[in-house]
Structure 1
């Protein structure tokens, strides 16, 4: 299996479409909780997939792609700069209504292996703070080609 840091970092760290960005945000929420207790259980990975599929949140992305995204992001979350990975993955979709899904998914992943570890609870709290604190994505003003100022509106 290729090293996630060296294989297609643009695909994972900088998805090119809104569908991919939303899927990456959902996957990172689940992966963050899954790696929090230092062991990713297959049932946690399956819960991420089940949650996304049951709610039809990434209909244009194949299961293999989602699984590869999960594996790559889970591996990146074991690195010292994991917080930057989470922030950079969530930032592009911060103006979408994903917060409720992100929180529900993270809680379901924590409970999936029937053992909610204290570090998983901390990961959920971190995710909650990030979903509230990330500035909303800037919008480009029509015809001017520059970003309009953003406001950090809370959901």
Structure 2
């Protein structure tokens, strides 16, 4: 496997698109819970997409793209570096107010197949911890002042 695969968990087709980054963050939360019991049910994948659509959280991302993102991320979560995939997907949106959505979505996915597995509960706890401690994205661009000490 190439290092490139591990450095970017999913290709964002529009790097500046907050909609795609938010969708990827939501999908990674749902996919993490879905794969936790080693059996991704179609109802779990459908619940992720329905959640995003019902709340209008990624209105400019097509359903086909959302399904594709879910499948790609769920596959990546079966790799040994799954924690890096989760962190790398959540980090770009760490300044967005998505925490409550991430937690609600993860709980809905766990319950979607009517069998909450103990590993799904652990995945939810991991997401809760990550949403509390994930480093905030740094703002870049005009108007952002540096906090470096002056010489």
TM-score band (shorter)? 0.7 to 0.9
Deviation readout 1:67-104 (Å, 9 max, x if unpaired):
00000000000000000000000000000000000000
Give the TM-score of the pair, scaled to structure 2: 0.86
| Residue equivalent to 1:107 | 107
| Residue equivalent to 1:72 | 72
Q: CA RMSD in A?
A: 2.3
| Residue equivalent to 2:45 | 45
Give the TM-score of the pair, scaled to structure 1: 0.84
Unaligned stretches of 5+ residues in structure 1: 150-155
- The 5-angstrom pairing of residues 109-128 of structure 1 reads 109-128=109-128
| Residue equivalent to 1:152 | none
> Counterpart of 1:12 in 2: which secondary structure?
coil
Deviating beyond 2 angstroms after TM superposition, the runs of 4 or more aligned structure 1 residues are 140-144, 146-149
Larger RCO, structures 1/2 (Cα 8 Å, 6+ apart): 2
Unaligned stretches of 5+ residues in structure 2: none
CA distance, structure 2, for counterparts of residue 95 and residue 112 of structure 1: 28
CA distance, structure 1, for counterparts of residue 21 and residue 58 of structure 2: 10
CA distance, structure 1, for counterparts of residue 127 and residue 36 of structure 2: 12
Q: How many pairs does the alignment contain?
A: 143
CA distance, structure 1, for counterparts of residue 130 and residue 43 of structure 2: 25
> Counterpart of 2:80 in 1: which secondary structure?
coil
